[in-house]
Amino acid sequence: MKITRFYLSIIALPAILNCTAQKKVAPLLPVLKDVFWNDFSVGTALSALQIEGRDHKADSLVKKQFNVLTPENSMKSMFLQPEWGKFDFRIGDRLTDYAAKNNMQVVGHTLIWHSQLPAYAQTIRSKDSLQAFFNNHIRTVAAHYDKKVLGWDVVNEALNEDGTMRPSIFQRLLGDDFVTEAFRLAQEASPNSELYYNDYNNEQPAKRAGAIRLIKKIQGAGVRIDGVGIQGHWHIGKVPFDDIEKSILEYSALGIKVMFTELDIEVLPRNFTGAEVNQRMRNTNDTALNPYTAGLPDSVQKQLADDYAQLFRLFLKHRDKISRITFWGVNDGQSWLNGWPVPGRTNYPLLFDRNYQPKPAYYAVIATKQQ
């Protein structure tokens, strides 16, 4: 059935592109997961509201377009273990049930991350207490979702920009080996899940070198690591294509899968790169920081489409090394970039607009298969 849909999409593509140019309603929309079926899976992040089925428009779009789902927040430790030793799997279970019913996969995000920790864990000061939290969290969560998730972002964001270890609570109390240990515990508790290291800016040379050292260290300890996630929070006109290509090549040379796990291309001004969720911009009342409240100008819309197209051409060139592309949100209205690093902005980083309609970037991405 999927294959049939794929061919229908391709055959119908010229007509669809033509209709869009004339601003008519497209009779048949090609779908991402089918167009890229032979290349990589195509995913999206779902908010808790969407997982709970309270965003009906998103629901039909998700079922149609994507074949792998990441919970945007619901499987982070602050939600899964809100009180010490008390786990709340309700929303996560809803997601895995929904995915199973709809023939989709789930990527667990994330077992060990210094951000969005439960409040009690943030105040831990002793090595023994943190070790107890660390062991119990990984063992319980990974075991609960074994056979229900495709893979886990086992550790998220363990590195500084220069490739050294980030002095997170885990690094400070447990030492640099906490990353290898997290993978070891995850492998024991969830032998059927793939295990990934995930970070932002890890396509940049110094951070990439650090990630490669980290991955080699895990491998050298005889512990399994199946893939590396490059988050892919990039900026319009500044997508680092060369570094992305080098990263695909260098990471896959380690014998692991490469995936783009949180893709979005931001169009609003920003004075730093990356995606450190605790970082904020100053002067947030400056209206120049929020220039497109009335809509995205055609020139920016076009540049966004061009950037996405160039990116997907690169992804297709290396389709044998890339297992998954996941967008960080279903549509522009949901994107976290409306609230970060400046609250209350109107951002346009994804392929679907606030009305859940495909944007020029969407058609540009689909068209890369025809070039």
The two three-digit tokens of residue 265, written as one number: 């291309």
Contact flag: residue 259 with ligand XIL (CB under 6 A): no
We find the least distance from the C-beta atom of residue 275 to ligand XIL, in angstroms, to be 4
Closest separation in Å from C-beta 157 to ligand XIL: 7
Q: Taking CB under 6 A as the criterion, which residues in 230-249 touch ligand XIL? A: 231
Among 203, 262, 307, 353, binds ligand XIL (CB under 6 A): 262
- 39 vs 153 by CB, closer to ligand XIL: 153
Beta carbon nearer to ligand XIL, 233 or 369: 233
Contact with ligand XIL (CB under 6 A) among 32, 130, 256, 275 = 275
Query: Nearest-CA neighbor of 36 among 349, 318, 229, 252?
Result: 318
Q: Which of 12, 37, 48, 73: binder of ligand XIL (CB under 6 A)?
A: 73
Q: Is 276 a catalytic residue?
A: no
Both tokens of 335, joined, read 């994107």
Structure tokens at 270: 């920003």
d(CA 290, CA 339): 11
CB-closest chain residue to ligand XIL: 336
Per annotation, catalytic residue among 72, 194, 262, 266: 262
Closest CA to 34 of 2, 59, 63: 2
Active site residue 266: no
**Alpha-helical regions (H) of the chain:** 2-21, 32-35, 48-51, 56-65, 77-80, 90-101, 119-122, 127-144, 169-174, 178-189, 205-220, 241-252, 298-317, 360-367
Binder to ligand XIL among 34, 39, 55, 72 (CB under 6 A)? 72
> Is residue 195 part of the contact set for ligand XIL (CB under 6 A)?
no
Say which of 72, 157, 203, 266 is annotated catalytic: 157
Distance CA 355, CA 357 (A): 5
Give the list of residues 6+ apart from residue 96 with CB closer than 8 angstroms, or none.
106, 145, 148, 149
Span 319-338, contacts to ligand XIL by CB under 6 A = 336
- The least distance separating ligand XIL from the CB of residue 307, rounded to whole angstroms, comes to 19
**Distance (Å, rounded) from C-alpha 257 to C-alpha 251?**
8
Interface with ligand XIL, residue 156, by CB under 6 A: yes
Q: Where on the chain is the footprint of ligand XIL (CB under 6 A)? A: 72-73, 156, 200, 231, 262, 275, 277, 336
**Residues marked as catalytic:** 157, 262
